[in-house]
Structure 1
């Protein structure tokens, strides 16, 4: 193949630019745009081991899909798949060698940015449950709230607390307490949309961010569903005797921008609502209202 027919210097320039890009998804977006604009390649999938890092591909009915794989880093199994249809075979074969050269040049940039992404992500995740932590929520809200305000969309914040969680520790141990937390985390994630955010804020308290809700009744309906779902969760206490523990949760609800507009106000209003819910008993929820600035804890 004649490499001179392609702009080799442009690949070097592309990689130099990708090094400056901070977000890994932006690297993939710029790279896929280059492939599509210059080589008519618009069906790309990049994997690390068996995990898909990036995928841009649309199925077309009636056309048989083919693919070829390029190993970028054999030691860590970083690879790229170029998918194409039978009617594109000639074009793909013509530029196959050059595509390999592109990814050979940019592979280290992709891998380095991925490692940075994983390191940053680990600082924003709770090590026990795998959920996001409070630091992530703070960063996320500072970006998300102004966007919701411009689009005039409501956001619900559901503060979740386990009823009498300390009694679990006193009766059993911290290992059983951790099991309860893990099971609750799984139950919360399975009860909301993938686009919603679930985070562990404190030891036994979680926060759910529900995007683009219609009104507070919508949030209340979802909160009730979450409470009911966790009632059915069984936590194994003694595997030998098949002994299980069933717990309940309470929930406080705050709506942006109706109840709070700033991040610190959101945390405060949802805290107050949760305490009020717990004061009412097990499996309770309470919707915060402006003016509820004080609360009797006992």
Structure 2
């Protein structure tokens, strides 16, 4: 059982402990923290606490993390669209609607299930739930992902992400007409206090996030853009475009209810992926065409322009 300790300062006075802990650790939702407290896994100054405990500066909090229940992740035969593969890396075009890796309550039909059937040699750095997974894209985002087939490749690709040398370009349709041709959003992203399942631009418990964008086409009330990630935060493009007033079309979490029809989920496609090969040191770049439903929406917008 792993333990995590926190020493509270004056910024946490008189706040409920579940709120404090979910703010200190962005991986925990408030309901998860409350369950940990109810199960007796949270100690304040050495004693078991309750969810309504009001914290004071100087409190010493210890969180005991119970062992995670290992789930059986089974190979599933899928018709994966593989763009590149060798003994070290694999590049796959994930369709919209597919989850990248299994999670409790969602253990089948994921990209990992399909990868395990396609090849048995995947890196083990991220454990049994995420073999080979170096980075993710959202379930309703389509596009290219790089997968590590051994730990050497995994460490190299992760370091490239840290060094911001991986090329990641996305195509998106956003609400509104962006008047300028180019732009950069440099705004920190963290958990939304009001909705722990969402991200937002905030200075509190946030991470540096930068998105560059350029306008490809303008329509009556929408704009077709290309976004390039400098950092890779959760929901980054979706959050940043909403922040500047141009939320993604079809986005059920960050966009308006009245939106484009004909596409299930946000109009976002990871179309270009480039990286240095971990072994050969050659720069590789791949481009995946837009999904058919994305193209059809664009055609409809062009005809009504």
Q: TM-score range by the shorter chain?
A: under 0.3
What's the TM-score, normalizing by structure 2? Answer: 0.26
More helix by share: 1
